[in-house]
Amino acid sequence: MPLTDLRIRKIKPAEKIRKYADGEGLTLIVMPNGSKLWRFRYRHFGKHREMAIGRYPYISLSDARAARYDAKSTLARGLDPVGEYRKAQAREQAITADIFSNVATELLEKFEREGKAAATMRKKRWLIDMATRDFGNVPVRHLSSALILKTLRKVEAKEHYETARRLRSTIGQVCRYAIATARLDNDPTQALSGALTNHKVSHQPAITDEIAFQNLVQDIWGYWGSASVTAGLKLMVLLYSRPGELRQARWSDFDFDKAIWTIPAEIEKNRLQHVKPLPALAIDILDKHRISAGAGEFVFPMLSNPRRPISANAFNQALHKLGYKGVQTSHGLRASASSLLNESGLWHEDAIEKELGHKIGNQSRRPYNRAAYWEQRLAMTEWWSALSTKLIM
């Protein structure tokens, strides 16, 4: 006889598995541990099959009967209920795997395997999180130019035009990755190339006049702040490295016997190891700074947490205190050095570019350039150090 909810609730487990038929192939299986499981048994092309429906009471008697009805309807169309259920599951899994947030995560993992810089990865995650908040659960094949533009307009409304441009570029990277992995046919961001507000890029403020630069150098040598910032600013003048590369420097990166600083590929902008010669004045500054820096791995540790380097804005804040806000930035010291070195007429422009850590020529020429300009870079470094010393006097 058919089952009832009351009867099902009263069934107690036994030592062996017990089965209770509801009719038309629907059976309730009671396990020794007390679990009550619904099964639908049927024949398809002469073969006995069984389909799991779920567990009672999460699947009620009425729900189980509805599932039986659906299965019998599927059989009436000549289809296998289990096979159709598995196909539906696969389609659902495919849709979930293809949503924007999952595809973006795959791309980020690819970037990490390729060894992208930590700073680059932070920016990519920040931009992708911004997009994910709006359409993270949308399958990539359903992304449209209009949907993406709506998100970009939100960023532009805050007058963050450069961020909007980078966000479009990053979303485009996800879309092109989806195309490469056969989950999307076209990149919807391509149609937005002319839709965003053009943002005029402003270069980092930098002093390029020799007299004004002399005053800047004198002010920096007279600055009295934390040991890390004080030493770091002086080395920014002498070495004109990228601020992030200098502030993340470790003592193990320096070979004082050979007078070189090796910037590891993981923190170098171009993801290439960069070796810089150290003038005697830079070595002297580092040697004196080592006492105040402590025994940690970072050359320029934070006062509050020596296990971390000083903040990204520490050098700029010091320049603001010296009265150079809007006039000179720490990164702009690279432009100052580049301009004055080029104006001197003493050095080959490729040697200057190589010393700045810029790429020169194609991949096959780079080893030659590194070898060809090393002696000139050594001489240029000492000349620049001597000029800086003269400016301090």
On whether residue 75 sits in a domain, the answer given is yes
pLDDT at 386: 87
Query: pLDDT digit string (tens) for 234-276?
Result: 999 999 999 889 999 999 999 999 999 999 888 877 778 889 9
Question: How big is the chain by its Cα radius of gyration, in Å?
Answer: 34
Give the domain-ending residue among 192, 221, 239.
192
Does residue 327 sit in the same domain as residue 375? Answer: yes
CA distance linking residue 274 with residue 16, whole number of Å: 73
pLDDT at 294: 81
Residue 367 has pLDDT above 60, yes or no: no
On whether residue 199 sits in a domain, the answer given is no
Q: Are 299 and 293 in contact (CB under 8 A)?
A: yes
The CATH number linked to 334 is: 1.10.443.10
pLDDT at 203: 61
Torsion sign, CA atoms 236, 242, 248, 252: negative
Question: Both tokens of residue 172?
Answer: 């485009």
Region 116-144: mean pLDDT is: 88
Does residue 142 sit in the same domain as residue 88? Answer: no
The CATH number linked to 172 is: 1.10.150.130
Does residue 225 sit in the same domain as residue 372? Answer: yes
pLDDT at 295: 80
pLDDT at 169: 92
Region 381-387: mean pLDDT is: 89
Q: What is the span of the domain harbouring residue 182?
A: 100-192
Does residue 111 sit in the same domain as residue 33? Answer: no
| Total tally of structural domains belonging to the chain | 3
Give the domain-ending residue among 61, 93, 125.
93
Query: pLDDT digit string (tens) for 48-63?
Result: 888 888 899 898 999 9
H or E element at residue 388? helix 374-392
With bands split at pLDDT 50, 70 and 90, how would you rate the model's confidence at 368?
Answer: very low
Q: Are 103 and 171 in contact (CB under 8 A)?
A: no
Give the domain-ending residue among 47, 66, 93.
93
With bands split at pLDDT 50, 70 and 90, how would you rate the model's confidence at 364?
Answer: very low
Region 17-29: mean pLDDT is: 90
Average pLDDT, the chain: 86
Q: Given the DSSP bridges, would you call strands 26-30 and 18-23 parallel, antiparallel or unpaired?
A: antiparallel
CA distance linking residue 339 with residue 58, whole number of Å: 75
pLDDT at 388: 81
Question: Both tokens of residue 253?
Answer: 């990166």
Residue 284 has pLDDT above 90, yes or no: yes
Closest CA to 339 of 207, 205, 203, 201: 207
pLDDT at 291: 86
Does residue 54 sit in the same domain as residue 122? Answer: no
On whether residue 204 sits in a domain, the answer given is no
With bands split at pLDDT 50, 70 and 90, how would you rate the model's confidence at 200?
Answer: low
**pTM of the full structure:** 0.54
Does residue 225 sit in the same domain as residue 293? Answer: yes
CA distance linking residue 231 with residue 120, whole number of Å: 27
On whether residue 197 sits in a domain, the answer given is no
Cβ neighbours around 157 below 10 Å, total: 9
Closest CA to 332 of 202, 204, 203: 204
Does residue 249 sit in the same domain as residue 377? Answer: yes
Region 227-240: mean pLDDT is: 92
Q: Are 164 and 197 in contact (CB under 8 A)?
A: yes
Q: Residue 77 has what DSSP assignment?
A: T
pLDDT at 88: 66
Q: Which long-range contacts (CB under 8 A, 24 or more apart) does 92-95 make?
A: 95/139
Length of the chain, in residues: 393
Does residue 358 sit in the same domain as residue 274? Answer: yes
Torsion sign, CA atoms 21, 26, 31, 34: negative
Does residue 179 sit in the same domain as residue 298? Answer: no
Q: Is 202 exposed, middle or buried (0-12, 13-18, 19+ CB in 10 A)?
A: exposed
Q: Are 36 and 8 in contact (CB under 8 A)?
A: yes
Query: pLDDT digit string (tens) for 131-173?
Result: 999 999 898 888 999 999 999 999 888 888 888 888 999 999 9
The CATH number linked to 62 is: 3.30.160.390
Does residue 80 sit in the same domain as residue 107? Answer: no
On whether residue 13 sits in a domain, the answer given is yes
With bands split at pLDDT 50, 70 and 90, how would you rate the model's confidence at 116?
Answer: confident
pLDDT at 230: 92
Does residue 363 sit in the same domain as residue 291? Answer: yes
Q: Spell out the residues 6+ positions from residue 154 whose beta carbon is closer than 8 angstroms to its own.
A: 134
Q: Minimum mean pLDDT among 184-188, 266-270, 317-321, 372-376: which range?
A: 266-270
H or E element at residue 39? strand 36-44
With bands split at pLDDT 50, 70 and 90, how would you rate the model's confidence at 95?
Answer: low
Does residue 282 sit in the same domain as residue 359? Answer: yes
pLDDT at 194: 83
